[in-house]
Every structure is written in structure tokens, then in C-alpha cells.
Structure 1
Amino acid sequence: MKWLPVLLSLTLLGGAPPRIAAGAPPAAAPAHPASGSADAAPLPNLPRRAIMSQVPKRSETAPEYRWKLEDIFADQAAWDKEYGKAKELIRSAAAFQGTLSEASRLKACFELEDDIGYHVERLYVFANMKHHEDTAEPQYQALSEKSQKLSVEAGEALSFLTPEVLALPEEKLEAFIADPQLAPYKHTLEEMKRQKAHVLSKNEESLLAQVGNISSAPNTIFSMLNNADLKFPKVRNEQGEEVELSHGRYIEFLESRDQNVRREAFKAMYDTYGKLKNTLASTLSANVTKNVFYAKARKYPSVLEMSLYGDNIPKTVYTNLIDTVHGSLPLMYRYMELRKKLLGVDELHMYDLFAPLVDEFDMKITFDEAKKITAESLKPLGEDYGKALQQGYSDSWIDVYENEGKRSGAYSWGAYGTHPYVLLNHKDNLNSMFTLTHEMGHALHSFYSDGNQKYRDAQYTIFLAEVASTLNEALLMDHLLKKSTDRKEKMYLLTYYADQFRTTVFRQTMFAEFEKIIHEKAEAGESLTPQELSKIYYGLNELYYGKGMTVDKDIEMEWARIPHFYNSFYVYKYATGFSAATSFAKQILDEGQPAVDRYLGFLKSGGSDFSINILRKAGVDMSSPEPIEQAMSVFEDVIRQLEELVDSPSE
């Protein structure tokens, strides 16, 4: 159910909690490629800022820089009152069990489900955001746990609904879909009907539910190996000091200006994984075998099609992505040649991919300046969008600065019926400005969706979630590049943008292709030995980076450290979301108002239709190669501008 908290729902295909967006609270989903062991591109050589001697307490942060959660609940008494109401509603659900063959009873049950969801969502979101203000505060630790238990209780109370509807005869379900009194729930019923072919008998479903804990074993084992048991050796940093390598430090070593430091860290990382290659191959193979089992049990043609089915995504979306990126690989090869030239090396190695390409460039941007610049950059989206953005800035949607105990990172969240919220830990730099515009993209997506859809249809899918945020970043980048007159600043921005394409489109597509190949081999009865996995992965690196890159042998073990492969066929959404956003941005900048109107229609659609249809209506057809081709044309322009700057005389 859409209001279940993220810990319960994000790991399920197609599942998403209310108002969820990138970096949202307690995350069970894979990390965005901008973090973690996916090794995405950071801002190039972001200056290391001095750390404050003491992080301020929550009470020491000025009120104008704190979000106003009182807009959800005025005080604890108001929360407690609504909690009591939610408990009563949950208790009333039992009366509907066994009565859903009548349209009037089904309508009333759907209404109750929405009512429960609305209240539980508000309670859960408020409790957790209060907890995130200061995670050490015991009152809100307890409130967070209380809201979690309530949401589980609600899910259990309504668990009969879908199975009972799916057990109805086909003609009865068709009659419900056509029944005018059930019109607000037509999309829900159509989705239930679509899923029915893959729902098994009661006994079979019970059996599958019982093996659920066993099926999570590959991911659990990998997580324990990767996060708890793996020990990395010490490597030398730029000062010649021996420092223990870790997941967190690895990317810092790869960003070093000293190629010897980069090489040593790279080899140490993959030597460590290589020592466990048989165990790690068995673990990944077990995960693939589990997927094949579920696909066969639920009568899907393949694991890929099972994975896409939840969001009703055609297989062509996946294959078009791979095929179109293959056709654009000459652009990647061209960028690799440019990277080699900028680094001044005779050979470009895999450990050189994160090395800074430009001299350190410090862009100090205060939060107030960041708000002004982002507002200016988003003017192409029109007056109405601008007013909504300013409302977010002025009406205390944003919790801006770090304080003692505050949750790290950034996210956009909220509850239906109140405005969205954004949590930041703002620093006065370029990266934080991009984070602000990214999270406000999510927030305004929810703002428009909630304002134009009923509760049930307001929540958009994960497939769509990154589009609005990434579009905002694309418009901000376009604005900064057009405004910049400083050669050094422009190169700094262009290298950042180029590496976004490399890591979010090309690299994630390579991951997606690797997943497709290994699942097809397993479905054909072939074994996934460490040698076979390494051979496939090494070959893909050769293909994606080209002959201008020295593809070091060590990279063949990288498959062993990517946690995304245990949430199968997920990473392609990063590439499609980035491509859709880039396509929208190009249309908006080229066409003006007609494209803006289509885009605002996308924001207002929420989850009222299948994701692919919502995008298509707005002018981005992800079942065709066109959006990816449009994104690639932008990438080509970025490379061209970089080449011109590299070849022009220095100032």
C-alpha cells in the first residue's frame, strides 16, 4: 500500500512510500549513483572546507532556517488525537473481510483504505521528520517507533483486500471496472486485474511467503561480507602516509591528483575482492537463481519482464536504452580522449576516471544566493512554477543547516494534505546549490501532484521520481554555463556535467546490460562462475570505454562490489530518469511554453496512470530511442564546448 513506510515497501517491486523522493528517510532502496559504491562522479575537485569546531545545537539555529512541522500537527496533543482516530479506523477494517463481492462494500472498503492511509501517513511522516531534527532526542525516537508499529498494524488489517478482490471471477472484476460508483478506483482495479495472471493460488502464495526470508539470504550475506567482514589493506596517501583503505575512502583516493595513489588504491580494492571471488560469485549467482525461481513460479517469460512488470514498463524501454547507448559510445570514446588530454597522461587507466580534470575552483555560494540563482535558472518553467518555488522558500518548507544530531544528507518528503518538506545540510558551495534545486524539484513534483490528484492517485512511482529533480539540475547547469564568462569556471562546470552523463547514463546502462546478460545465461542453464562473471564484466568495460582506455585487468572484479546487483534490474531507472529529464529540459529550452505546459501536466499527473503513459503524454516516449538520443545530443554539445575551451589559449 502506498503509505507503508519505506523500510517495508521500497524493497518491493513498484512499491514506494508516500511523498518519497531521492535520499528520502530510512532508505532500503539502492543508493542513487551519486553515492556509495556505485562510484559516481563528485563535483570535480571540490575544495575541502574547514570543519566547524563545534556543530550548533538545534536550539541555536535561527527559526527562519528551520522547517515548520507545525503545519502538519500543531503539537503533541494533536498528533495523539489523530493517532487515536487512526487506531479506530484500523479496527473497523475487519468488518469488510468476506464482503467485497458487492460494489458498494468494495467502494466503502477502498474509501476506508484511503482514510487510514491518509492519517497513518501524516502520523508517520511527522514523527520521523521530528526524529530527523535531532536523532538523539528520545521523545521522537519513541514517536518514530510508535508510528512504524502503527503502519505495520494498518498493513496487516487491510491485507485481505487485494487477495479477496483477485479471488473474484473474471466477469465480476470486469463489472467492477465498468461500474460508475467505482470510477475513482478504476485504475486500481485495472492494475489488480493486470496482476491477476501472476497471482497464484492461496496455498501457493502462502508457500512463497514462507520462503521470503530465505530469498533475502543472498543480499544479507553480501551485505555482511561487504560491510562487516571485508578488511582492506593500508595504502599510501599523497603525503606518503599509510592509511587504511575503506569503502568511504576509496573514492577520495581515486580523486587524488597523484596517479600512484590512485593506482595503489585501485589495485588494493580489487585484490581484496579477488581473494573472495568464489564466495562472492556464489552469492550473486544465488541471487540470480532466486530471481529465476520467482519468475518461473509466477509465470513470467523472464526475470527482466517480471522486474519491469510492477511499473508496467515495456521490455523495449530496457533494450532501447542499451541499444541507443551502444550507438552513442563514440561520444564516450571522445570524452575519454579529452580526459586523457586534460590529465596529460600517455595512457588513461580505469583508476583515472575520477581524477580531477581542472584546477581547484572555489565557488562560495550562500544559501540566500543559492535560492536566488536557482529561482533565476528555473524561470523557463514559467510564472506559476516560480510562484510555487518562492512559496517553498518563504513558507518554511526547508530545514537548511546542520545541527547536532540532525540526520545527514538531503531529502524531500511530506504528507498528503500539507505542503512538502525538504531536509538539507547546506554548505556554502556549488554542490549544495545543486542539492537545493534537486530536492526542490522533488518537492514541487509532490506539490503539483498532491494539488491535482486525489490521495490514491497522487503518489508517483520510483520510475518517475528522479525526472523532476534532475530536470531542475539540467536547467541550473544551462543557466550557469550561459552566465559564466570565466574560462576556468566554465571548464569546472562542463567537466562536472560530462561526468554526470558518464556515471548516470553510460555506467548505469553498463550495469543494466551486465544484469541482463547474467540472467539470460542463468535462464539458459549456464553456470555463473567467477571466471564467467569477470569475463562478461571485463568485456563490457572494453566495449563502453573503447580502445583509447587501458582497461586494467583488476576491473574484472568490480561486479563483486556493486550492491545494486542484489536489487535486480533497478539501476536502469537512473539512466532513463536522467535521459527523460534531459529530454524535457531540451524541449523546454527549445520550444518554450508548449513544452512547459506538457511538463507541468507531467508534474500534475502524480500516479494517476502508468508511468510510461504519463511521460508519453508529456512528450517523452521512453519506449522509443528519442529521449536518450536527445540526452546524447546534449552530451555531445558539452564535449564540444570542453574541446573548444581546451584548444583555446589560456587566459
Structure 2
Amino acid sequence: MSTLPKRSEVAKENTWNLSDIFADQKAWDQAYEDLKKDLKKVAEFEGKLDSAPQIKAIFELEDRLGQATEKLYVYANLHHDEDTADPTYQALLEKAKKLSVEVSEALSFVTPEILSLPEAELDKLIDSPDLAAYRFTLTEIKREKAHVLSKAEEALLAQVGNISQAPQNIFGMLNNADMKFPKIKNAEGQEVELTHGSYIQFLESPDREVRRSAFKAVYDTYAKQKNTLAATLSANVTKNIFYAKARKYPSVLEMSLYGDNISKEVYDNLIGTIHESLPLLHRYMKLRKKLLGVDELHMYDLFAPLVEEYKWDISYEEAKKLCIEGLKPLGENYSSKLQEGFNNRWIDVYENEGKRTGAYSWGAYGTHPYVLLNHNDNLNSMFTLAHEMGHALHSYFSDEALPYRDAQYTIFLAEVASTTNEALLMDYLLKHADNPKQKLYLLTYYADQFRTTVFRQTMFAEFEKIVHERAEAGVSMTPQELSSIYYELNKKYHGEDMVVDKDIEMEWARIPHFYRSFYVYKYATGFSAATSFSKQILEEGQPAVDRYLGFLKSGGSDYSINILKKAGVDMSSPQPIREAMSVFENVIAQMEQLTK
């Protein structure tokens, strides 16, 4: 294996240009000093936020401080991620983090002080012409009021904060540090280490015995710790119920959705619509069984390759060209901004020694976004490029169209733009696939995205809902109870053509997302919204493109559901999920056709 280049050895054109944020370290230091001076002005407002002029002035100062902090933090963090071992940027990042905490602490009185105003006063401020630019912020503050407690109660809850992280921390330690899996035999018959990282690679092995033994070894190991893991998950659920009751929410689910102002109907609607679409997943399972040529399809066959490894080398230059072609339906303006990102060093392309793994898009308001990649010349890396540029251009258009505090979009919306890019690129690749094997390879890749991102995450979301409802009704969450709920859901979702191995009943024990309760549904809604957008864009053309670009320019200027609705995707109705399912059905039909 060739050694990775040092950061200093990477060609300049394959690195991002951070001088677009600060020209040099001296400019960063100056901005840091200026911000420290500006921060001293905050104290002048404490105890005086009782009129429109005062509130306007503190909001303006808050925006100025927020923007300046963001620039300092992003610059330090991006440099740090280029080479995490570089002590210069480790120190700079620490300095930026400390400053960020200082700014948050200095401004922490603002929301509680505004909240302490009588409701009639708050309403007057919301309608004040002087505060028109901050109407959405004030409306949000008012919405919080019903769930904010007295000063003494809030102080008490803050002290409980550290204890409340215990279930997640204990799970993390047990899962990542203490859990040891036995060795298994690989396809060559050698004894090899089974780890969290290698587990999926073993499940993707063409050798069925390797898949089966990895699957058994993992769930046997979790089963040995089932009482501890059930107690940990149950403690997390109990903590959630405590917070929901303390903050006067009807249920944990409604408390979790409240931040994004998402109604319970959106959650229930996702589960209900996926239930009506389960025959499609069952049809895919039947096709998987046929393509694998097995008498019985088992849970450990879900990641097995359906197409003999199709070798498709896609260089970075080729990936950029295909992205530009694939995203042409989004119009001239979008294409030119995409090209601008490619040409003007927004992207840090290849792996180097010490560079942060994975991929992301990030940036500071007032400068263009940046994208970190660790590019390999394959299909997955090309989709990662399209995905991250979706995030980047979402931020670019929002920042360009909106003032600082309205530009930041929610997590509920974050995955929509990135996944829309992937869907459009996939459509282009399928239309231009030059042989049946390549087409089947693409279709399999796409079908598995539907299975893992829509169906699997919805099954997780349903599991969380059932567990919390039963716990709220006083049922004890024993390992038997958790395993029984999880096993029955797997049977329901995978259908008659799947042998639902008993071992899978322990899978709940290894899902870290269950400690970020009611979060995973956003993967399924985001993917569905994106698939719906791409379908509308491809079928309707310009009117749908205009609505979609309107969505990209909306940032966080309204509630997420409203932003999507204006753009033609109403997540409170089954329509977008049904549209996504019609795309999935088409993918399966094409696979069936190719494998007759």
C-alpha cells in the first residue's frame, strides 16, 4: 500500500483556498482582537431589554458577534482538519472554541430576559415595524415560552444536564471500548479480527459463510450484554420522559419534534405511508433472493453484492464532469455556481497524512462554502461529491438571499438539497449507462439507498415510537420486551421471502442513534422530499426548478415544513413519500426487466 502524502506535498489545485476567509494568520488575530472588544458591549444591555430599540440593538450586536465568531471558528477548524496532527491549528482551534463559549455565555441572558416580558408586550414587539427583520426570531422565542420554567427550575434542570448524558456515555463506552468480538474466518480461511468497522465489509462479502459467521458473532456478543444494554436504553427513555413532563409536553415524541415545529402527523404519516409501501420492499427482497440464487434469503444476505463486482474507475476530473452534466436540469445559474466551486478551490480533494476522514460541507456566512473530501476514483466518491456540493450550494444560495440569522437552515431540511443532487445524478447515469451490467450495478446501488435510508430508518423510527409509548404507559423495557418489538418489526418490514433470523432481535442494542431519540426519521423524510423534488424537476421542468431554487434561497427564514410546502413538497401529506415510492418501484421494475 502506498504511503499517504504529507500535507505540504499535496498539489495546490487539489486543496481549498482558505485565504478567502482570512488573508493570513495576522488577519485572523486582528479579527479575534476586534471581537473581544465588541464582546464587552454586551454587558451594557443586561436588565434593559424592555423596548423595541434596545432589543433591535442587542439583536444587531448578537448578529455581528455571531458572524465574526463563525468566521474565526470555521477558519481554524478547516485548517485543523487538513492535518489534525498540526499543533499550530490545534492551538488555534482551541482558542476559537473558547471564544465561542465566551460569546454564548455573554449572550445567554438575551432570550430569558425577552421571555420574562408579559405576553402582550411580546406580541407588540413581534408586530413592531422597527423589529420587522427579527419577527421570526421573536415568534420563535414566544413559542418557547410555554415550555420554559421558572429561573430556579431552569437552574435545577441545567444541573441535571450532566447526569442526563449518562445513558449515552455508558452505551458509548460499552459499545466502543469494552465490546470485543470473536475472530472469524475470512474468504481465504484465515482467522481475522471482527470489529465495528469491518462488520459491514464482512456482510458485503460474496462468500455466504463469511457473512453468516460475522452476523452470528456480532449478535451473540450483544446478546451476552443484553441486560446491561436494555438497562442503558431504558434509562435513556426514562430521562426523555422526565424532560417531557418537566417541560409540560404531552409526550416525548412531541417534545422532540417541537424544536423544528414539526407536527406529530408528519411522523405518523411517514410510518403509515411506508406501511402501505411495504409490498415494494417485499418485492425487492424476492428479487434479491432470485439474484443471489439462494433457496432462503437471510438477514445476513441484505448487503451481499447482487452484481459481480463491476469495476468502474471514475477519476475526480470525470466525476466533476458527470456532476455538471447530471445537474444540468437545475438550470444555468446553478450550473455556473457549481462550476465556480470546482474552479475556485472550494474543495479539498484527496486524503493526506493526518487529514480528517469522511466528507462534509461547511463555511461561514459572508464567504463561500467549503467541501472536504477524501476522494477515491469510484462511484461512491462521485456521489459524495454531488451530495456535498448540494449542501454547499444550498448554503451559498441561502447566504446570498438572506440576512445572517435567517440564512441557517434546520437539520430537517439539511439532507434535502444534497440528496436531490444524488437523485438527479443517478437519473442521468441510468439514462447514459452503456451496458446492462453497468445499469444493473447503478440500479442496485439506488435500490439499496431506498432500503437503508427510507425503509430501515422508518423501521427505526417506528421502534422508537413504540418503545416510548409503552414506557409512557408504564411498561418496563426489559431485554425481552425490546427484542420482541424489534423482531416483530423486522418480520413486518421484510416480508415472506425473508427468513428473519432470531439473532436480529438484538440489533436494537447496537444502534447509537437510539440515544439521540426521534432523530432518524429525518433521514427518511429528507430522502423522500429529495426524491419528490427530483421527480418534479425531471417531469415538469422550469416551474419545478423555480420552486426548488426558491427552496434553496429560503434558508431558515420560516418553519421547515412551510419552506418545503412553498416549494411543492408537503411533508404533512403522504404525497412526497408516495412519489419517492413510485421511483423505487420503477427501479425494481428496471432490475426485474434486466434479469429476466
TM-score, structure 2 normalization = 0.99
Q: CA deviation at 1:300?
A: 0.4
Q: In the alignment, is residue 466 of structure 1 matched against residue 415 of structure 2?
A: yes
**Matching of residues 630-649 of structure 1 within 5 Å:** 630-647=579-596
1:10 corresponds to? none
- Superposition map of 1:227-626 within 5 A: 227-626=176-575
Structure 1 stretches of at least 4 aligned residues deviating more than 6 Å after TM superposition:
none
Match of 1:178 among 119, 127, 141: 127
Render the CA deviation track for 1:516-561: whole Å, top value 9, x for unaligned: 0000001101111100000000000000001110000000000000
**Aligned counterpart for 1:207 among listed residues 156, 180, 184:** 156
Cα deviation, 1:317-365, whole Å, max 9, x if unaligned, reads 1000000000000000000000000000000000000000001111111
Mapping of 1:6-21 within 5 angstroms? none
1:33 matched residue in structure 2: none
Q: Could you tell me how far 1:102 is from its partner in structure 2?
A: 1.4
Residue type of the alignment partner of 2:278 = L
Give the Å deviation of 1:259.
1.1
User: Quick one: percent identity of the two aligned structures?
Assistant: 73
Q: Measure the CA separation in 2 of the matches of 1:276 and 1:457.
A: 46
Deviations 1:196-218 (A, max 9, x none): 00000101101101101111100
- How far apart are residue 390 of structure 1 and its match? 0.7
* Equivalent-residue separation in structure 1 for 2:487 and 2:40 (angstroms): 56
Aligned-partner residue type, residue 155 of structure 1:
S
Letter in 1 for 2:334: Y
For residues 33-89 of structure 1, the C-alpha deviation after alignment (integer angstroms, 9 at most, x for no partner) is xxxxxxxxxxxxxxxxxx4x1211222211111111000000000000000111112
5+ residue gaps, structure 1: 1-50
Deviation at 1:395, TM superposition (A): 1.1
3-state SS, counterpart of residue 568 of structure 2: coil
User: Tell me, what secondary structure is at the counterpart of 1:431?
Assistant: helix
Question: How far apart are the structure 2 equivalents of 1:248 and 1:102?
Answer: 56
Q: CA deviation at 1:589?
A: 0.2
Question: Do residues 147 (structure 1) and 99 (structure 2) align?
Answer: no
Residues 51-70 of structure 1 mapped to structure 2, 5 A cutoff: 51=1, 53-70=2-19
Which amino acid is 1:450 matched to? D
Supply the AA of the counterpart residue of 1:182: L
Query: 1:52-91 residue pairs with structure 2 within 5 A?
Result: 53-91=2-40
Offset, 1:406: 1.1
Provide, for residues 125-177 of structure 1, a one-character-per-residue CA deviation record: whole Å limited to 9, x for no partner. 00010111111111111000000000000000000000001011001100100
Kindly report the root-mean-square deviation, in angstroms, between the aligned alpha carbons of the 2 structures.
0.6
Deviation at 1:230, TM superposition (A): 0.7
More helix by share: 2
Q: Distance in 2 between matches of 1:396 and 1:244?
A: 40
SS of 2:361's partner is strand
Per-residue CA deviation, residues 548-592 of structure 1 (Å, 9 max, x unaligned), is 100000000000000000000000000000000000000000000
2:116 maps to 167
Cα deviation for residue 485 of structure 1 reads: 2.5
Amino acid at match of 1:354: F
- Structure 2 gaps, min length 5: none
Question: What code does the residue aligned with 1:559 have?
Answer: W
Q: Does 1:222 align with 2:171?
A: yes
Residue aligned with 2:192, SS: strand
Q: Secondary structure of the residue that 1:605 maps to in structure 2? A: coil
